[in-house]
Each structure stands twice: as C-alpha cells, then as structure tokens.
Amino acid sequence: MYRYYTNGVCAKSILLDIEDDVVLDVAFEGGCEGALIAIKNLVRGQNIDYIIDTLEQVPCKMRGTSCPDQLANALKIYKEFVYNKNIYEVVENMISFQKILFFKEDKFMRRTSEMKIEIPEVNGGRCISENELECRIDPNTFAGVWLEHEPTTLWQKNILDVYQDAKAKGRLHAFTCMTIDASVVDGKLVYQKGLPIETGFYPMEWAEMLKAYNPSRNSRMMTRIEYVCRNLYLIQKLVKAGCEIAKAYEMVCDDSREIGHYYNSSNHKNDFEPTGSREICGFYDLGNARKFIAEDPWEEESFFLVAGGDYGCYSALNQVAYFKNYGLGDEGYYSVGMIALD
C-alpha cells in the first residue's frame, strides 16, 4: 500500500494498492464521496499509464488541479521512482515545496521537509528553547467557578466526567507538556517555532520517539487523562484572560475554529502551518495536525487514540477536546505525537 499526500484539493491523501503497473484499488481521504467512489471503481484493474493519460490535468473549479489530477500525479511519481527504479528515492512534489519519501519496507509515502535547518546543541540538541515552550500542569490544584460549569454538550460533559472520575479515584498527577508540536531534524525531536511539523509516523513509532526524547524526565506519549487536563488548563487560561466560562468551554469542546487551524478557521491554509503559527493563551498548534495520545495505564486494553483535528477538518466535528480510538484509518497520517514529562 502506498500513500500520496495531495495538495490543493479537498481530498487530503490517496491510498494506492498497486501491483507492478496495475492499480488494484484506490481510496481517497476526504473529498466528494460520490465522485471519488466512481473514480475508484473506474481505475480498479487499470494500467497506470492509461490512468495517467485519462486523468492528468482534469480541472476542478479554479484550483489548477483536481482529485483525478492528483491521482495521476501520484501514479507518475510511483512509476518513475518505484516501478522503474525500485529503490529508495527522495523526489520533489511538483505542486508543493514538500518532498515525498518512499519507504520500501512498509510501502507508504511520507512527506518530509526540504528545509535546511541548523539546530544549536541545547539539551543534547533536543530543543532550542525547551524551557520557554514547556508548561507545568497540576490538575490537583484546579479550582474555581470555571470548574463548576454545568456542561451543555456531549464533549463538555465528557471532559468534566473524565476529570472528575480520575480525581475521585486519586489518579490525577502533575506533569509537564510542550506547548508546541514536534518537528524532527536529523532524527531528533525538536520543539521550536517556525519548523515543519512531523507527520507520517505510526503511533507506535511516536511512542518510541517520545520515550527516547528525555528518559531522565520519563518522557512519554501523553495519556488521555493528561490530554483532558491539558484542555481544562487551557479553559482555565482562557477564563483568566477574560473569556466567559461558557465561551471558553465552547471553543475547546464544541467548535475550535477561533483557537486553532481548521478548514473553516480564519486565514485558513490548505496545508500544515509551521509550528508556532497560531497562539492562544501560550499554547500553539491547536488544530493544524491531529494528535496521537495513549490510553490511560489503568485501562484494561492498551491502545492509542487520535485527538483533535487538522487543517482539513471542520472545527465543530474535530474540536480540540475530541478524541477517539485509533484504527488503521487515514487520520493517523495527519497526526503528531503529544509529549508529557515528569
């Protein structure tokens, strides 16, 4: 299976099952469902050259490209760098200033940045300004009228129920989180403004990278209760900044367009923004990319969750407080792992 990350269209990525020069199956993430199902049915079993000739330069509105054109572009890259050469190659995506990396072992395409970045050796090269981008949260100290809010929606109730249940069972603990999403430079996790965020890793890969980030501080993938407490802390900060309590809960739990980068946010970009592009009460990168978090250790089954939304999501469907169990679905490829430290 190969994955191609699109640019300039509603569908965010294309999954391709290809054997030699024949497309066995194709699936689009996002986009116009009916039309893309039709494309899927029409290209099954077809030769890649036939598909390229048929779909290349098909327009959509004033975009200069389309989902069929993006599929043709993906197949052109596959043909040149996989079918014809069958070796590792890094190639330029002709539409964006990202690059596409083919991994032969697990057969998917991953976007990486072509930026050349110099990272000073601070804290072993892990982070250029780690202390400035850390936030210490102790949910045991949460108090105030804002915490007595009567929930009016499902996710307002969910965030308070999870917190109250953990508090009643003595499961709350202080932790440190980063206020910005991770980048990867020279194989190291880096937390710094202005870098490309890193997506394309599986959650297990993120768990290993986050664990290796700073073992002396028990660095790890953030758990569900830690994520809930991070969001409650954000609500507290919004209230302290003058936001009405009901509005603060609404922005975090119901519709996050005003505090993150979503499809319907102001000044929306049809791609990931660099880290630190949008700030709210000291937190960056809400929305923009979905977040991988881990299930709480006391749960019987250990699995990963996907939280929040990305730049292609509607803010009322994948709000900041939202999370669900991770499956082998497309949203994982638009996700970045969240870190917690002691």
- For the segment 83-114, what is each residue's pLDDT rounded down to a tens digit? 775 443 433 333 332 333 333 333 333 333 33
Please tell me whether residues 161 and 100 are part of one structural domain: no
Q: Which has more confidence, 108 or 2? A: 2
Please tell me whether residues 91 and 233 are part of one structural domain: no
Return the sign of the alpha-carbon dihedral for residues 249, 252, 257, 258: positive
Across 179-183, 196-200, 286-290, 300-304, least confident range: 300-304
DSSP state of 223: B
Across 63-72, 84-93, 245-254, 273-282, least confident range: 84-93
Q: Which two tokens stand for residue 307?
A: 């939280």
**pLDDT tens per residue across span 44-90:** 999 999 999 999 989 887 767 899 998 998 888 888 767 775 443 43
Q: Mean per-residue pLDDT for 163-180?
A: 96
Q: Which has more confidence, 92 or 256? A: 256
Domain boundary among the residues 113, 144, 177 is at 113
CATH code assigned at 184:
3.90.1580
- Decide if pLDDT at 297 tops 50: yes
Please tell me whether residues 127 and 105 are part of one structural domain: no
Please tell me whether residues 23 and 60 are part of one structural domain: yes
Whether residue 273 is contained in a domain is answered as: yes
Q: What is the Cα–Cα distance from 304 to 244, expressed in whole angstroms?
A: 33
- Pair 234, 258: CB distance under 8 Å: no
Across 62-76, 116-130, 144-158, 172-186, least confident range: 116-130
What does residue 143 show for φ and ψ, rounded to 5 degrees? -165, 155
**pLDDT tens per residue across span 39-57:** 988 999 999 999 999 999 8
pLDDT of residue 72: 92
- Decide if pLDDT at 205 tops 70: yes
Q: Mean per-residue pLDDT for 22-38?
A: 82
pLDDT of residue 269: 87
**Amino acid letter, residue 76:** K
Whether residue 18 is contained in a domain is answered as: yes
* 14-18, 106-110, 111-115, 300-304, range with greatest mean pLDDT: 14-18
Q: Mean per-residue pLDDT for 107-124?
A: 35
Domain boundary among the residues 59, 86, 113 is at 113
Q: Mean per-residue pLDDT for 265-292?
A: 92
pLDDT of residue 274: 93
Q: What is the phi-psi region of residue 153: left when phi exceeds 0, alpha when psi lies from -120 to 50, beta otherwise?
A: beta
Q: Does the pTM exceed 0.75?
A: no
SS3 content of the chain, % helix, strand, coil (to 5): 30, 20, 45
Q: Which has more confidence, 35 or 273? A: 273
Q: Percent of the chain, pLDDT > 70?
A: 82
Question: What are the contacts of 295-301 at 24+ separation with CB within 8 A?
Answer: 295/223, 295/224, 296/166, 296/171, 296/223, 296/224, 296/225, 297/223, 298/171
Q: Which has more confidence, 8 or 252? A: 252
**What pLDDT band is residue 129 in, cutting at 50, 70 and 90?**
very low
Q: Mean per-residue pLDDT for 183-209?
A: 85
Q: How many domains does the chain have?
A: 2
Per DSSP, the chain holds a count of helices (H) and strands (E) of 7, 18
- Decide if pLDDT at 118 tops 70: no
pLDDT of residue 333: 67
pLDDT of residue 45: 93
Please tell me whether residues 312 and 212 are part of one structural domain: yes
pLDDT of residue 327: 65
pLDDT of residue 125: 32
Domain boundary among the residues 87, 113, 139 is at 113
Please tell me whether residues 162 and 85 are part of one structural domain: no
**What pLDDT band is residue 1 in, cutting at 50, 70 and 90?**
low
What domain range includes position 193? 123-341
Whether residue 118 is contained in a domain is answered as: no
- Decide if pLDDT at 258 tops 60: yes
- Pair 35, 55: CB distance under 8 Å: no
Whether residue 241 is contained in a domain is answered as: yes
Please tell me whether residues 128 and 17 are part of one structural domain: no
